[in-house]
Structure 1
Amino acid sequence: MSTLHLQQLPLPDAEVYFIPHFIPAPESDVYFGRLVQEVNWQQESIKLFGRQLPMPRLTAWYGDKSYTYSGLENKPQPWLPVLQELREKVEQASGQKYNSVLLNLYRTGQDSMGWHADDELELGQQPSIASLSFGGERRFAFKHRTRKDLKPAPLILSHGSLLLMQGPTQHHWLHHVPKTARAVQPRINLTFRYVRG
């Protein structure tokens, strides 16, 4: 692990670390602008209750491997220099290797991500997911899959923050980015992962 101030979140059955100011604000501003311009953003559709519906956010998949989630097979686009730069920073901080990244662009408070876990088979038994945020702050929360005595654990994902989810986290906890009626700035999230096979 990096010598950066890693704050471990007090979640049972999990190994989660958070660095609120992983990348300083002026540098984060530059990265946000580059990602908006350089990434090939798409609006994918998912099948929900028998209907094809547009995802409530824009996405992009870059890296070395294909990846399937929510019934969508993502063919990788080749790494952009800006994504390579960010991958190196995140690998240094986490001590992990990543060969792919899923990017999400939340345009307004109505863009969201439902409760889910990053537990697809191709991520392995105990995946390491590194989540990097740029742009407007958004509320994020964890919810234990089976323990009803544990309340959801909220977290504010700030501009330039890094969230590391490792060990058994994806087996025991779900996470989401809820909609909000508040006026929020657009947010970009990069989730680095290692896809096997």
Structure 2
Amino acid sequence: MELVTIPIEDGELSMLPQLPMPIGNAEILARLLDETPWRADTVVVYGKRYLQPRLTAWYGEASYTYSGLTLQPLPLTPLLAQLRAAVERVTGQRYNSVLLNYYRDGADSMGMHSDDEPELGPRPVIASLSYGATRTFILRHRRNQRTVKLDLTDGSLVLMAGTLQAHWRHGINKTAKLVGPRLNLTFRYVS
């Protein structure tokens, strides 16, 4: 399977409906939920402190700072190393870190933002892998407010590259719909 390009201006966006893995999506989701030491962190947004509306975990080779929060990495587990290798094969990119986001239900979300921290470089490549319940991923262009919506299904992979982080913001809204748990793994290279 190959990534399918999604035509957008000012950046590169592509998607794969199912990341090929030798184990099933349900087993991956269950193991990640069970094996991960989830954190509930407070971040600073526009000078105010907020509890993140999701749980997170940071793994890899380097610390990572965003919204006033510095995360120290945990070593990759065998399953995370296996997932990283599969993502690297499909995308042709190298990643040294991964942020896990656990959306427990529809009340958990991620506000509109860009992954444009200096340690990611001027043209970061972010590979976003989802397991569990389908949620809608929203991208909004900073200048013209054009919006792109993608349903992130169980096992899907989205690749954001080029100048996308400089020109677009992205997020996951809360939903009143009854939705089950969802895990999102964002693989990146931190220098």
TM-score, normalised relative to structure 1: 0.93
State the shift of 1:22 in Å. Answer: 2.0
Identity %: 48
What is the DSSP-based 3-state SS (H/G/I as helix, E as strand, rest coil) of the residue aligned with 1:108? coil
- 1:90 partner letter: V
Following TM superposition, where does structure 1 have runs of at least 4 consecutive aligned residues deviating by more than 4 angstroms?
A: 48-51
Once the two structures are superposed, the pairs formed by residues 31-42 of structure 1 within 5 Å of their partners are 31-42=28-39
State the shift of 1:25 in Å. Answer: 11
What is the DSSP-based 3-state SS (H/G/I as helix, E as strand, rest coil) of the residue aligned with 2:24? helix
Question: 1:185 aligned to 2:185?
Answer: no
Of residues 91-100 and 6-15 in structure 1, the stretch that sits farther from structure 2 once superposed is 6-15
State the shift of 1:56 in Å. Answer: 0.3
The answer to whether the 8 A contact 1:66-1:74 is kept is: yes
Aligned to 1:169: 164
Q: Deviations over 1:45-93 (max 9, x none)?
A: 1234655331100000000000001110000011111100000000000
The answer to whether the 8 A contact 1:24-1:160 is kept is: no
Count of aligned pairs between the two proteins: 191
What is the DSSP-based 3-state SS (H/G/I as helix, E as strand, rest coil) of the residue aligned with 1:41? coil
- 1:27 partner letter: G
Q: Say if 1:25 and 1:115 are closer, same or farther in 2 by CA, change over 3 A.
A: farther
Question: 1:91 aligned to 2:72?
Answer: no
Q: Say if 1:178 and 1:10 are closer, same or farther in 2 by CA, change over 3 A.
A: same
- 2:31 partner letter: R
- 1:187 partner letter: R
- 1:160 partner letter: G
Q: Partners in 2 of 1:174 and 1:10 — Cα distance?
A: 16
Q: Say if 1:127 and 1:48 are closer, same or farther in 2 by CA, change over 3 A.
A: closer
User: Of 19, 22, 25, which residue of structure 2 is paired with 1:22?
Assistant: 19
- 2:180 partner letter: Q
Aligned to 1:137: 134
Q: Say if 1:136 and 1:71 are closer, same or farther in 2 by CA, change over 3 A.
A: same
Aligned to 1:126: 123
Aligned to 1:63: 60
State the shift of 1:23 in Å. Answer: 3.8
State the shift of 1:26 in Å. Answer: 6.5
The answer to whether the 8 A contact 2:3-2:90 is kept is: no
Q: Partners in 1 of 2:101 and 2:168 — Cα distance?
A: 20
For structure 2, list consecutive stretches of 5 or more residues without a partner in the other structure: none
